Amino acid sequence: MAESNDSVFVDVEKIYLGGKEHHVRTGCGSVSVIVYGDQDKPALITYPDLALNYMSCFQGLFFCPEAASLLVHNFCIYHISPPGHELGAAPISPDDPLPSVDDLADQIIEVLNYFGLGAVMCMGVTAGAYILTLFAMKYRQRVLGLILVSPLCKTPSWTEWLYNKVMSNLLYFYGMCGLLKEFLLQRYFSKDVRGSAEVPESDIAQACRGLLDERQGINVLRFLQAINQYEIVLWRPDITSGLKKLRCRTLVFVGDNSPFHSEALHMITKLDRRYSALVEVQACGSMVTEEQPHAMLIPMEYFFMGYGLYRPCQLSDSPRSPLSPSCISPELLSPESMGLKLKPIKTRVSLEG
């Protein structure tokens, strides 16, 4: 890939699980993009939640054999990290301007333009889902579809604002301390995964805690400030008024134990019902991609059918999958003029492993 002195450049190549890391220079700083797969295929971009990158936010989903056969077969994956959230990131200088959510959305269009991408499929989790939704509103012609996991769309509730304020203070004074990690784990996972005095912490939570150790506190603080305030206003912009104008298909996942469950329910009521569907995953927190990745597979498979995309081999249902076609509303599976007519549905996820 040739260097561009005007806007972007490729840093030294780093290989992560078969993907190549590019550092793309944009109008508001450098952003790390891990590219995995055949770049001649349609593009799927991902954007993680606060303090996460693709390793800690999407690894569970992309390590599923079924997901690999569906996603990697059909797409080239572009994992975008929030500024300073990539592996081995150095602290961002406090003199650098603090980006706004609009700046982060505009970074995505610069990444797409650098790689020569047209319209792309988007997958984001919580804060990342908010950034990608805003991107889809600003650049409608560049988005094929949205897969949003426990998304944000409103100004922060008083509870969220208070949590974010406490986390901001912890980050400012103590960095990635133990208490800060506990707040983040509550944001990501259900209580069963986090553990208790009687139940040990799960492997998923332990792995996430270890990956959080690698984050730079100042970088996480900057992203938190970006998604929690807008310019001099201490509130994230409410984008619900623009949701009806979206014309791309949108698939929303949310865990019923997520602190953002009500926000996802609000969002689905504001989206055009002809092009959107809700999947509620029981016994799950916000990060469905890590806690219950198999709950996403069948809804995504039928979602992609509307684009003429299929798994290379129609394998039998995985015995590990908590879903089967009988769990899904028949209306979701009925082909319509748009490929699939998506309706709000609720999945039932077995508590048994």
254, 190 Cβ separation under 8 angstroms:
no
Give me the sign of the Cα torsion angle 174, 179, 184, 187.
negative
- Assess contact for 58 and 85: CB atoms under 8 A: no
Which of 89-103, 242-256, 310-324, 338-352 is predicted least confidently?
338-352
The two tokens of residue 123 are: 């997958």
pLDDT for 8: 36
- Could you tell me if residue 6 is inside a domain? no
User: Over 90: is that where the pLDDT of 65 sits?
Assistant: no
Give me the CATH number covering residue 27: 3.40.50.1820
Q: Which residue has the higher pLDDT, 320 or 36?
A: 36
> Which is nearest to 121 in space by CA: 107, 106, 132, 137?
132
The whole-angstrom separation of Cα 108 and Cα 294 is 28
Residue 310: the pLDDT is 87
Contact between residue 33 and residue 24 where contact means Cβ atoms under 8 Å apart: yes
Digit-coded pLDDT (tens) for 98-145: 999 999 999 999 999 999 999 999 999 999 999 999 999 999 999 999
Residue 29 forms part of a structural domain: yes
Domain enclosing residue 111, as ranges: 20-155+237-306
Sheet containing strand 15-16, edge to edge, reads 15-16, 19-26, 29-36, 76-80, 43-47, 120-125, 143-149, 249-255, 276-281, 345-346
What does the block give as tokens for 60?
């569970």
Distance CA 176, CA 173 (A): 10
Residue 193: inside a domain: no
* 145 domain-assigned: yes
What pLDDT sits at residue 199?
82
Please provide the distance, in angstroms rounded to a whole number, between the alpha carbons at the two ends of the chain: 45
pLDDT, average across residues 216-241: 84
Q: What percent of the chain has pLDDT over 90?
A: 69
Report the pLDDT averaged over residues 65-69: 83
CA distance 197 to 181: 17
> Into how many domains does the chain fold?
1
Distance CA 184, CA 32 (A): 22
Tell whether the model's pLDDT for residue 19 goes beyond 90. Answer: no
**pLDDT score of 107:** 97
Instruction: Give the percent of the chain with pLDDT over 70.
Output: 82
Average pLDDT, whole number, for the chain?
84
**Domain contains 328:** no
| 43-59: average pLDDT | 96
Coil/strand/helix, residue 11: coil
In this model, does residue 276 exceed pLDDT 70? yes
More confident residue, 234 or 159: 159
Other CB atoms within 10 Å distance of the CB of residue 186:
15
pLDDT for 247 equals 85
Q: Is residue 173 part of a domain?
A: no
Helix runs in the chain, H state only: 54-57, 59-62, 65-67, 73-74, 101-115, 127-138, 158-174, 178-188, 191-194, 203-212, 217-228, 261-270, 288-291, 297-305, 330-333
Q: Kindly tell me if the per-residue pLDDT of 253 is higher than 70.
A: yes
Taking 50 as the threshold, does the pLDDT of residue 245 lie above it?
Answer: yes
pLDDT at 320 over 90: no
Has residue 4 been placed in a domain? no
Q: For 193-212, write each residue's pLDDT tens digit.
A: 998 878 888 999 999 999 99
**Res 202: pLDDT:** 92
Question: Residue 89 falls within a domain, yes or no?
Answer: yes
Return the pLDDT at 2.
41
Per-residue confidence (pLDDT) for residue 211, from 0 to 100 = 94
From residue 188, alpha-carbon distances to 209, 255, 331 in Å are 11, 10, 31
pLDDT of residue 313: 62
